[in-house]
Structures are given as C-alpha cells and as structure tokens.
Structure 1
C-alpha cells in the first residue's frame, strides 16, 4: 500500500512538482520514497511506500525492469502474485525481488495491457513503456484503490489523492457544482471531485497515453454483471464458502502481521474466525466502545474472542477525545464525507497498536443484501405511486425526512431511487442552503450516469447495485482508503475479491437473497453456519455508529457563525436533521473560513 503520482506533458518544474505531490501524501507511505524525471519525454513518476510485501530495498519504487525500458509506480496489493510469478517463470522470466510490483512489470512484458485480467487484488498504477513511448495506467475491478486524473495547462497529472493535485497549485479552481452533489449524497459520487478538471479513472478501466502525440484512450476491462444464473441453492452455498475462504487466505499474504477490525457483526466475526484458522498464533483484533452502552457490541465481540482465541484490543472513544481530534479529522478528509469519522478512529487505534495491515468486512452487506434497501426493493412500485400522489397533495403530508425524499422519484435523475433510499437533502433544501434555483439543482444532478446498463435487472439487484456502485464505491471505499492511509495503515477488503463478486452478483435473485426475511445475508450465513455462532447471525443488525447526535449537539462550532445557517442548526436540535445533515452543511463552507473556526469546541 502506497501513494503514487505521475505527470505527463509538463515542460517545466517536473522535479519540484512531483516532489510536492508525493510530499503532500507522505502519511500514506512513510517507509520510503522516490521519483523519476524524464525531461526528454516530459514525464515524472513519484512514490511513497508503506512496506508490506518484500520489506527490503528491492521493493523500492519507482521500479524499473532489468533493461530499464519499463518504469512503474504502483499502489495496492496483488493477492495472487505468487501464482502469476510461477506462470511467468514457466515462460522464462526470472525475478530479483519478492515484490508484487515486479510481477506487474514482468506480467506487462509478457501479456501487455491484458495483465489487468490476471490480477486479483486492489491496485492503481501508472506504468511507462519506453519501448513504445506509452503510458499505461489502470485501476482495479471494484475501485478499491483510487487514481485521480487532473488536467491543467495541457499537462496530465495522476495522484492517489486530490490533495496531491492541490499541492501543485493551491489555487486550483474548484468544481463549481461540487456542493450540490455533496448535499444530495453526503459524499461526492464518482466522477465528481471538488476540483475542476479532476476526475478518477473509473473502476475496472485502464488508460493509455502516447507520450509523443498525447493521444489518450480509456478502456473498460471489467463491469459488474447481474446475469441471474440459475444455480441450486446448496451448490451456491458450497461455492460461496469456497470463494470466501480462498479470498481470506489470499488477503493474509504479507511480510508484516495482519489484524482484523472486529465489530461483533456477521462480517467481521467471520473474517476473524477464518483468519485465525489460517494462523498458528493469535491474530490481533480490535474494536471501539463508548461510555454510552447503547452503542456497545462488546458482548458479541467477547463471543468471537472466546471461540477463536484471538488477541483482542478494546479502545474507548470519549467525547473529549473526539473534540480534541476535531482538527485532525477535518485535515484528514481528502474529499468531503459525512461518514469518515468512525473509520478515522479505528484506523488510528490500529496504527497505535503497531499494525500495518487490517482486514475489514466492508463489501459483505453490498454483496449479500445486508441493507434495508434490498429488503424493501419489492415496494419500489408503491413508492413511485406515492411520489405521484405527492404532486397532488399538500406538502405538509410529506414534511419530514425520509418522506420528503420521495420527491426524488418525480425527477429525471438516473440515481433517483438511490437518492430516495439514501439521499441527504432534497433538491428543494439544497437550493435553499446554497441560495440557488431548485431547477438548477435537479439539472446538475441529472447529469449523473451509471457505469453499467441496469435498466433490465431486477429490483433487488438494482438496490444491491446502488449500494455497491454508488454508496460503497464513492463513500465507504473512499473513506476507508483515505483514513487508513492517513494513519499509515493498509485496509484490505476480502469480500470484494473479484472472483467472489462475479459469482455472487450473477446468481439468480431468488438464490442470492433466499431466506432473507428470516436470516440476514442468508447465503453467506448458510455457507458458514457451522462456524458462525447463532448469537452472532441471529440478532438485530447494528451499524458501525458513534454517539454523534450527542457529541455534535454541544459543539459551538455549529452555532453563532456565518458558516452555519441558524435554521439548519435548529432543525438538528429539533431532531428533524441528523448529524450527517448538520456536518454536511458545515463542510460546504469555504475552506479558508473553516480553517478559522474548526478549533471552536
């Protein structure tokens, strides 16, 4: 896990700019750093390293092929790199390191751009082929690792974080519409960013640039599919068990200890069980608790600790620590989000524990239908009918959230069903907050398009797709990457294994979501019914939540200042708005002004 940067087409200041970019992201790679500048071809590559596999200097980046014709900067982990390495050895290749980076280089030499089809893991890389004077950049199938592309003054910049681009020009022009998107979603859905002419390379895509002609191509090599394949349920259970077990085993590959975030829910409990089965000594697990017992899941964590023998660590987050951490939390956000604070603290404690790698259960809810959106998807026709009624009845009947969000279903916005499920503010409220016309808000939000054609997939699969391709992609994965890297930590997500995702997504809906009414994530639970204690899977779902309503309620930063409309804070106090809505309005204020008031507690 690392941070990478690249510049193409800049005539001047290549050295200083690439160093500025990597320095801005140094927390994501504290172990080592390096850069290459090629003035003749007008490019530069930069890297910050968090050493996980092959801790020796042989893993240093930028890395070059033996003949120096291939150069690469790479962020991520390839979990099947040893298998690919053996395949390459049969083709006559030899290796000087034990790193997966070298496997990508030699895999590219053997198979060209088709190397991306063989990779199983999380990755974003920029590779220079001096034989063909070509740049080749790629991002993994699920977009676990980020890669932002910025364009300015006819140069193209690549960066693991938007802050890397801001390091080039502190006054890089803002995307004038980002606040609309943020207030609608609570995060910035890809490809939206806060900066003008800055977008991520889409998940499952690669990009090529001819360094001579500057011709660019962006090509999709992987898409989510929902083929509704008919499979016997027992076979689906067996295959799911095999694929999950294989993925966890792969995700434990490292030359440093690997820990697990253990919340006590189905996903993290299963990861702890399977990870411990693969280890001869107790693995490190960790969790968070609070003064308020209402948020505690300790009794469930204790069950797994007792069953597995893992070495568990509890960390208490107090209101005072939250207040004391306010400035750092704010600074750690690469892009605005309403859901990064909890991840910030658990990653902080993992770093304090001395861990460099942790497993997270992220992705299981999206894959196996663990959210209410899937459960309620069969009501969609009813919701659309209610939306039509909403046009004809007094607005007072739909005056509170979430009822007011039904307004989205009457719009032409492609993601209107998602925004009905999970949207933060309605177009009307966004227009009020930003002091603009409501039609302009809807017009901007209507520019969103899906990466896949989902018009023919079933309602439940559509809900699962929204959770995966929007919520997980643009909020959960983005926050997890940013916050883990802020604390020099690699966060791995076994449930997003490419083979596992492809298999489960393509299952017939009736198989994938069978028994869902009586058993949460039934396919996953049934696959490991002999491993998971019933007390873990047969209980109400509890998200990874903090007592934010209480903590935010006493913060002076939200009161008596021009950054927070009085009516918004009052709605929060009246419990019409939750903390996410309060926090999101605050984050839309100009950064320079936020810097001045963020110290107020």
Structure 2
C-alpha cells in the first residue's frame, strides 16, 4: 500500500511541487519515499511506500524498467502477481525484484493496456511510457484505491488524496457548489465530482490515458452477467464457498503481519474464519464497541471459535469529542459517514500489532444485505395514488422537520429516486427547501438531484439486482471505500477487502435472482453458504451496521450540534438539525 502523485506539464515541472505533494501523503507510506523526473522535465512521479510485499529497498518507488523506457508509481496490491510473472518469465522477461509492482511494468511492456485484465487485486497506479510519451493512470475494478486528478489546459496531475492539491497553492481551486449541494442528497460527493471544480475522481473500473496533451477516459470493467448462471441452489452454495475461500486466502499474501477487523457481523466473521483456516499461525483480530451500541459478544464468539489473538477496545463520547475535528477532515471534502470514527479507531488498534488487516466490506452490496432493499421493495410503486400531492403538502406542513413521523409518511409519497434518497438518509428537494438559502434554491431549481443514481439505474433488471448494482457503482466506491481508505491510511494500515474480489462479485451477480434474494431474507445465499461454517448465533442474529450511536453522542457535543446557518449556504439564523451530514458540511464551509 502506498500513496501516489504525479504531474505532466509541457512547460516543465517544478521539482519542489511534486516533492511537496509526496510529503503531504507521508502517512500513506512511512517506510520510504521518492520522486522522479523524466529527462525532459515535463513529467514527475512521486510515491510514499508502505512496504508489504518484497521489503527489499530495490522495490522502492517510483520503479523503472529502463530497457523499455517505463516508470511507475503504484498503490495497492496485485494478489495473483505470481501468475502473470510466470507467464512473463516464460516469454523471456527478467525481473530485478520480487514485487508485484514490477509485474505491472513488465505486463504493460508485453500486453499493453490489456495487462490490466490479468491483475486480481486493489490498485491505483500511473505508468509512464517514455517511448510513446504516454501516461497510463488506472483504478481497480471496485474502486478500493483512489485516484484524484487535475486537468486544466495542458497540465495534468494526479494524486491519492484531495489534500495533495488543496494544500499546494500552485493548484488554483474553487468550490464546486453543485458538489456541496449533492452532499445533502447522497451523504457524499459522487464521482466523478469532488468539492472543487478543478478536481475529479477517476471512477472505479476506469483508466485514463494522457498523450499529446489530451486525456482519454476508458471503462475497462463492469458487471455484465446478471442471473445467467442457471445452477442449482446446492451448486451455488458450493461456488460461493469456493470463491470466498480463494479470495480470502489470496489476501493473506504478505511479507508483514496480517490480521482481521472483526465487527461480529457475518461478513467480517466469514473473512476471519477463512483467514485463520488458511494461516499457519494464530491471527490477530480487532474489535471495537460503543456505549449502547456493540456487537462485541458476537465478535468474541468468532474469535474464540478460531482461537485468534483477540484485541478489544471500547469507544465513548469523550473520545469522540477529541477526535471529531481531526477525523472529520480526513476526506479533504465533506463526507457524511459517521462510521469514520469506528473505522479509524479500529485501524489504529490494528496498526499497533499488524501492517495489513482484512475487513468484511462489500458483503452487503454483493449478497443483498441492506435493510433498505427490503424497505424499498415494500414501498416501491405506492406513490401513484390520486391525492399524493395534497397529502404530501399536509405532511410537509404539519410534521416537524426530520421527525420520524415525517420520514415514515414520506415513504408513501415519493417517486423511486426520492424514496431511495430518504432510505439512504439523504434530503429530497422538499427538505432542502427548509435548509438552504433562497438564492441557492433558485440556482438549483431545475437541477437533477439524482443524476448519479440515474446513471446506474438499470430498470431492465429485477428489483433486487437493480438495487445491488446501484450500490455497487455509487455508495460502495464513493462512500464505503473512501472511508476505509482514508481511515486506514491515516494510520499507515493496509486494509484489504476480500469480499470485493472481482471474481467473487461476478460469480455472485451471475447467480439467479431467486437464489440471491427471496425478498425477505437478507444475505440469503451467503447465510446458506456459511451454515455449518460459522456459529449459528452469527447467522441468526439481526443485522447491525458498523456505526456509532450518533443521536446519543450529539447531545453531549453542544458546540458542534447547536449550529445556525450563516446565510451563505444554509438559511441565515436557521437552527440546523443534528444530522451528521448537515453539520459536517457546515464545518467544511467554515474552513
């Protein structure tokens, strides 16, 4: 795991600028760092390395293949790197290191852009071909690793984090008000937008090609097979078990200590179970609990069953007060996911013992695990009754803003995207009218609030698959993976997500819809596959997300919770609701 950056400028690159961008991301790779300029001084690459595979200094980056004029800065891991390496060696390639990064260099030399289809892992990299004067910037299929880029005129730059641009005065940035507005809808800023007009996020499963001062965006991967694998339930269970164990075993490849983040839910329990099964020594497992909100008893059941070295800590509101300001700005832009707190804390715990930790992220998206899927199915199609408009006006007038009664009533009044917005915890247009100043409302009167969801809404798919795919393309890469990357990298921990192995994802989506979901049981096929593997208490317990007791905590943080709009974005004098997204956005606007 590392941090990357680079600049292309035909008029020359300032060495001090790429060095500063590299230093800003020191936390992403404390083991070594380096920068490199091409002979023409029109391109610079930077890297901070967290050494995980091949600890030899020869694998420090940027890494080069001088015989072919290739250089690379790489972030992530290619878990199956030994497979393409053997292919390349059979074709006559000679390697100087044992790193997966060098395999990417030689893979491009042999197969060009098609090399990416041979890589199984999480990655973000930039590869310079000096012969073709071409820069190839790629992001992994599921968006586990980030790429932020800047393209103004004939200058192109990229980085792992927004702060590598926002903290460098050479990049003239301006707020993208539409992206800040989007935060209230989604709880995050959806790709390809960032909080700044001049910066963009490279989307998951895409790569960029910069050549002749022109930028080309290419989508190289997507889920394309939905319900096409017509197999029996028993065969589906065997397939899922096989793919799970293979994906988890692959992610144990490391030259440094590995552990697991164990929440006590079925996803992290599955990862922990198969990880320990495939390890040759007791692994460390890490769990965190909160006042009034804990699954530690279930985490202990799994830890005891696999006989791991289990580490537990409790987190309370007093700790949250100290950590809030520091952790809220890890993203470099407003981000309304309060689980940044437990994610960062459990990452801190893990880093005291290990350098790599496997997590259970992604299980809800690929195995139909969110309660909102059930709620959407229940209320979908109930918004077409004749008096909808009058009833809606009544609800907005007489139910208190953000009250449970108002939210529940709205579920029967909203169209598909408004319904999804409310279920995701966002603000539909009618609620934004209660929050935002009049000038801003006029500016966004005809704005499509749901543009990001609309891009990936496949109406031809069965409802269950449609909602999973929507989350896979939006919420997963833009919220969950951003949170996990920033929280883990802030403490120099490599987080790995085996449930997002692209072969497992493809296998799960290809199963018949009725095997993945009966419309009632969350994670139906996953639970069936884990029956007889995990303790029954883990499989039968109600779902509980990895979150904090926010509404309890916020009462103890009056300085943060009791805020009023200043008229610039929110209505002047308006007492802002104790909604985490709203309050984070307000703090960001005050920066």
Normalised by the size of structure 2, how large is the TM-score? 0.91
Q: Per-residue deviation at 1:588? A: 2.4
2:484 match: 480
Q: Per-residue deviation at 1:449? A: 6.1
1:365 match: 364
Aligned pair partner of 1:549 in 542, 548, 551: 551
Q: Tell me how many residue pairs correspond in the alignment.
A: 574
Instruction: Report the Cα distance in structure 2 between the residues aligned to 1:197 and 1:42, rounded to whole angstroms.
Output: 21
After superposition, residues 44-443 of structure 1 pair within 5 angstroms as 44-67=44-67, 69-152=69-152, 154-169=154-169, 172-210=173-211, 213-229=212-228, 230-290=230-290, 292=291, 294-339=292-337, 340-351=340-351, 353-385=352-384, 389-393=387-391, 395-397=393-395, 399=399, 400=403, 401-403=406-408, 406=411, 409-410=414-415, 415-435=417-437, 436-437=440-441, 440=444, 443=447
Instruction: Report the Cα distance in structure 1 between the residues aligned to 2:447 and 2:587, rounded to whole angstroms.
Output: 23
Instruction: Report the Cα distance in structure 1 between the residues aligned to 2:413 and 2:135, rounded to whole angstroms.
Output: 42
Would the aligned equivalents of 2:12 and 2:41 in 1 still touch at CA under 8 Å? Answer: no
Aligned pair partner of 2:509 in 505, 517, 541: 505
Would the aligned equivalents of 2:69 and 2:131 in 1 still touch at CA under 8 Å? Answer: yes
Q: Per-residue deviation at 1:545? A: 2.0
2:470 match: 466
2:460 partner SS: coil
2:217 partner SS: strand
Would the aligned equivalents of 2:456 and 2:469 in 1 still touch at CA under 8 Å? Answer: no
In structure 2, list runs of 5 or more residues that go unmatched.
none
Instruction: Report the Cα distance in structure 1 between the residues aligned to 2:8 and 2:305, rounded to whole angstroms.
Output: 54
1:559 equivalenced with 2:562 (yes/no): yes
Q: Per-residue deviation at 1:451? A: 5.3
In structure 1, list runs of 5 or more residues that go unmatched.
573-580, 595-601
Which range moved further: 99-108 or 561-570?
561-570
Would the aligned equivalents of 2:141 and 2:502 in 1 still touch at CA under 8 Å? Answer: yes
Would the aligned equivalents of 1:558 and 1:569 in 2 still touch at CA under 8 Å? Answer: no
1:597 match: none
1:19 match: 19
2:255 partner SS: coil
Would the aligned equivalents of 1:559 and 1:566 in 2 still touch at CA under 8 Å? Answer: no
2:582 match: 585
2:104 partner SS: helix
Which range moved further: 4-13 or 457-466?
4-13
Which range moved further: 551-560 or 111-120?
551-560
Q: Per-residue deviation at 1:26? A: 1.2
Would the aligned equivalents of 2:13 and 2:42 in 1 still touch at CA under 8 Å? Answer: no
Would the aligned equivalents of 2:261 and 2:286 in 1 still touch at CA under 8 Å? Answer: yes
- RMSD of aligned C-alpha atoms? 2.4
2:165 partner SS: helix
**Counterparts in 2 of 1:334 and 1:10: CA distance versus 1, 3 Å:** farther
Which range moved further: 192-201 or 372-381?
372-381
User: Cα deviations across residues 404-435 of structure 1 (Å, max 9, x unaligned)?
Assistant: 65599449xxx545314214212133244231
Would the aligned equivalents of 1:369 and 1:375 in 2 still touch at CA under 8 Å? Answer: no
Instruction: Report the Cα distance in structure 2 between the residues aligned to 1:44 and 1:570, rounded to whole angstroms.
Output: 45
User: Cα deviations across residues 425-476 of structure 1 (Å, max 9, x unaligned)?
Assistant: 1213324423122671551525436555613111111111222222112100
1:67 partner SS: helix
User: Cα deviations across residues 95-121 of structure 1 (Å, max 9, x unaligned)?
Assistant: 111110000001111111001111111
Instruction: Report the Cα distance in structure 2 between the residues aligned to 1:465 and 1:592, rounded to whole angstroms.
Output: 33
Instruction: Report the Cα distance in structure 2 between the residues aligned to 1:565 and 1:446, rounded to whole angstroms.
Output: 23
Would the aligned equivalents of 2:317 and 2:556 in 1 still touch at CA under 8 Å? Answer: no
Instruction: Report the Cα distance in structure 2 between the residues aligned to 1:266 and 1:43, rounded to whole angstroms.
Output: 47
Would the aligned equivalents of 1:137 and 1:207 in 2 still touch at CA under 8 Å? Answer: yes
Would the aligned equivalents of 1:560 and 1:566 in 2 still touch at CA under 8 Å? Answer: no
Normalised by the size of structure 1, how large is the TM-score? 0.90
Q: Per-residue deviation at 1:303? A: 1.1
**Counterparts in 2 of 1:510 and 1:442: CA distance versus 1, 3 Å:** farther
